[in-house]
Amino acid sequence: MTLAKVQGLIASGGRPPIGETLGFQLVDAGDGWAAFEGVPGPQHYNPMGIVHGGYAATLLDSACGIAVVTKLADDQAMTTLELKTSYLKAMTGETGKVRAEGRVISIGRRVAYVEAKLADEAGRLYATATSTLLVIQQ
């Protein structure tokens, strides 16, 4: 997949299968970066009554992955090797829309390093992530 294909996905609705399940979508991308948005709600709650950390981690992982995809050739793909997520603030049903933005820091022939952040519309930061991804030939 390339940046052109990512932009085509955005134009067609930008919702990968995991986005259907969790209710988020790819909303923007450029050379070396990508953004997903979603609205967390009670369906994402853990037993403590706040949004499960997996929701944030999934948005951040998706943003990191697609950021790398924008730098790849048609015959390349990627897969996450490692994702480190730091949770800074709990999300609830009142949080509203959140945006995960991933940016490629470094990419080589086999490995990419990406950073991402998850914030609400007021700019409040909820989580950050760093990710190492493997670049593979298809």
The CATH number covering residue 71 comes to: 3.10.129.10
Q: What is the pTM of this model?
A: 0.94
- From 46, 47, 78, 48, select the one nearest 63 (Cα to Cα): 78
How many domains are contained in the chain?
1
5: Cβ–Cβ under 8 A, 6 or more apart, which residues? none
Cα separation of 121 and 22, whole Å? Answer: 19
What are the two backbone dihedrals, phi and then psi, of residue 30, each rounded to the nearest 5 degrees?
A: -150, -170
Q: What is the pLDDT of residue 42?
A: 93
Q: What range does the domain containing 93 cover?
A: 3-137
On the CB side of 8, CA atoms within 13 Å amount to 5
Q: pLDDT (tens digit, 0 to 9) for every residue of the chain, 138 residues total? A: 678 888 887 888 767 888 889 999 999 999 999 999 999 999 999 999 999 999 999 999 999 999 999 999 999 999 999 999 999 999 998 999 999 999 999 999 999 999 999 999 999 999 999 999 999 998
Q: Which residue(s) pair with 125 in the sheet? A: 119
